[in-house]
Structure 1
Amino acid sequence: MQKPTAHATGRTRQVAAQFIALSFAWGTSFLFIKVSVGGLSPAQVMIGRLTLGAAFLIAVMLFTRRRWPRDARSWGALVVISVFLCVAPFTLYAWSGQYIPSGLSSIYNATTPIAALLVSLAVLPDERLTRGRTAGLLVAAAGVLVVAAPWDIALTPEHGPVFVAQLACLGANLCYGIGFVLSRRLLRTNQHDATTIAASQICLAAVLGLAIAPFIGGLEPMDLNPPVITSMLALGVIGTGLAYIWNTRVISAWGATAASTVTYVTPIVGVVVGIFALGEVLHWNQLAGGLLVLLGILISRGRLTRTGTLTVRRRSIPNRVHNDV
């Protein structure tokens, strides 16, 4: 058997390091959102992270001399996609961050693949509801119910905003699901690489966010203290800008299926940093429900065999831009 070259080994380690960095970038995004809403309105958090992310990705486009899309069809599709993959979910997660812990937001974010599956089943004719998918959806739904803990809401009516905030997280994930399906349908024949699509999408989202700012609280007074400024820089440059580059490289090296396993890691990062950085408390139902959600995702994707062992598929899948909070 031929041994891997030093160059190949170095590249493998580099991609692995980028995968780990991506997990931390998206896992800590909920912490930065939580800190940012302490001095900014949810709309300002959305606009700030998009503007900073757009500035970073524009610099990448200029440095790498990539060409922007030139056809009206691509730009039209990206306008619609940017609403569902950026503007709407970023606003919803920022709003929910005012009422629920950052770790809980990260747990809800793990349901994004389930939301994408539901939307695909509803609108894509080539998608079928198999026995495995049905079982996975039921298990994940049970997990969401356990995380939401409606029995606590019933006993404490004053916690109503907490329940609504959890619904907002699920609404954000539904937006992601719609965005993924639109990307698949509208950008199927697009010839641009993932970095160009990401940069175009984030820039359009920033423009849209600025346009609607006066109507959604984007002009409210701001408290730009050091923690808020630092969090916004991390959220925009790293979580919304640099993370796209890392994700693109991981997809290119490992394939979309392996790259998507970042979904399993980000809730762990989000919960841990929430506990250590903000003193948040992880309740038993959030841990149990989060595990059920991840189990449901594995089952729906056929990643568990009948014996209960985890399987890894090694098939070629076209590259897609993966979005998270």
Structure 2
Amino acid sequence: MTSPAVDPAPETHPDAPEPRTAPAASSTDSAPAVPARRISGAVWAALGIVYVVWGSTYLGIRIVVETLPPFLSGGARFITAGLLLAAIVAWRQGPAALKVTRRELGSAVLVGLLLILGGNGLVVLAETSIPSGLAALLVAAVPVWVVLLRAAFGERPGLGAFGGVLLGFAGLGVLTVPGLSGEVKIGGVLLVVVAALLWSVGTVSSARLPMPANPFTASVYEMLAGGLGALLLGLARGEHHGLDLGAVSGRSWGALAYLIVFGSIVAFTAYAWLLQSAPISLAATYAYVNPVVAVLLGALVLNEALTWPILLGGAIVVGGVWLIVSTERRG
């Protein structure tokens, strides 16, 4: 779980641009129609980065935890990524871009703990015992939880969104079969379900709290807060006892570096740029493409089994997410 602090349905994020609308028609019939703007090659390239890189982070996490402890590695990842992103923001926009009010800092810290410590951290812990593809499909249900949380706050999602919720829960039911049957540890499955719920709470909260106006600045403080929280939790769990860095495999170090640079910085930057440069409905498609990429990579690279609960349950969840996202776009 590595996306930035934005909704799976990005139009609900406070920093997302308003959907572009066509200009009003002229009162004269002779005015030529404005042709639809083509999607540029840069947009497709950025979308490809978001699809592949964010989809591959579940594989990267699974490789990291082969020889590195979950919370200490997660803390190292996000603290490093947060510091690098802070340096980039200060370089490109000036140090003043990192200034926030006390309330904004408090909000960013809370959201970072929910998203990174709770959401991402529990996924990392779960992937010590369950396949990366299964984790990705369980996380794919985040839009389902977001719809329910928005309804709890008094919003009125459309009937299509609630239809997607029902499909999503049906898919989650099928995806839990491997845990109930003993094929994987049920504890790992439940950890990811809780992680997705915490990520959803953080996502909805970020739209209602006084967050920093600059999404890059907000992510700096979220990454640092979540990373420090993961580091402290890892120390409290005793993950440092017996940790021999010399025994960590080269592929675990490589996967950690990949998650820091590509998963936490490159893909996030590409997605933030997409929100400014592409139709939001196009950018939102990552929500149901990422889990498909994750499942395929897990099967190809780690030989993870594609069992019928994973294939059927995953297809149902992705279908529910597609219905939610498409409904939100028409709203």
TM range (shorter): 0.7 to 0.9
- Listed as ranges, the gaps of 5+ residues in structure 1 are 304-310, 316-325
1:128 alignment partner, SS class: coil
The aligned amino acid for 1:88 is G
Find the aligned partners of 1:52 and 1:282 in 2 and give their Cα distance: 34
Find the aligned partners of 2:199 and 2:102 in 1 and give their Cα distance: 23
Contact 1:52 1:233 in 2 (8 A): no
The aligned amino acid for 1:120 is R
Residue number in structure 2 paired with 1:69 = 99
Contact 2:71 2:233 in 1 (8 A): no
Match among 23, 35, 47 for residue 51 of structure 2? 23
Find the aligned partners of 1:32 and 1:291 in 2 and give their Cα distance: 23
RMSD: 2.4
The aligned amino acid for 2:300 is F
1:281 alignment partner, SS class: coil
Find the aligned partners of 2:309 and 2:92 in 1 and give their Cα distance: 47
Asked if residue 271 in structure 1 is aligned to residue 280 in structure 2, the reply is no
Post-superposition offset of 1:299: 2.8
1:282 alignment partner, SS class: coil
Contact 2:284 2:325 in 1 (8 A): no
Deviations 1:257-297 (CA, angstroms, capped at 9, x unpaired): 43221011111110111111111111122111111112222
Post-superposition offset of 1:301: 4.1
Post-superposition offset of 1:300: 3.3
Matches within 5 A, 1:222-237: 222=244, 223-237=247-261
The aligned amino acid for 2:180 is I
Matches within 5 A, 1:40-59: 40-59=68-87
Find the aligned partners of 2:295 and 2:101 in 1 and give their Cα distance: 42
How many corresponding residue pairs?
A: 294
1:28 alignment partner, SS class: helix
Residue number in structure 2 paired with 1:117 = 147
The aligned amino acid for 1:183 is S
Residue number in structure 2 paired with 1:167 = 190
Residue number in structure 2 paired with 1:216 = 237
Asked if residue 260 in structure 1 is aligned to residue 288 in structure 2, the reply is no
Match among 145, 164, 183 for residue 136 of structure 1? 164
The aligned amino acid for 1:68 is L
The aligned amino acid for 1:209 is A
Deviations 1:176-226 (CA, angstroms, capped at 9, x unpaired): 110011101003xx5622222212221222233334442134424143221
Match among 133, 136, 142 for residue 106 of structure 1? 136
Residue number in structure 1 paired with 2:268 = 244
Residue number in structure 1 paired with 2:14 = none
The aligned amino acid for 1:153 is L
Find the aligned partners of 1:293 and 1:218 in 2 and give their Cα distance: 34
Q: Are residues 255 and 79 of structure 1, via their aligned partners in 2, closer, same or farther at CA, if it must alter by over 3 Å?
A: farther
Find the aligned partners of 1:153 and 1:115 in 2 and give their Cα distance: 22
Find the aligned partners of 1:206 and 1:75 in 2 and give their Cα distance: 15
Structure 2-normalised TM-score? 0.81
Contact 2:143 2:321 in 1 (8 A): yes
Structure 1-normalised TM-score? 0.83
Residue number in structure 1 paired with 2:21 = none
Find the aligned partners of 1:47 and 1:138 in 2 and give their Cα distance: 35
Post-superposition offset of 1:117: 1.4
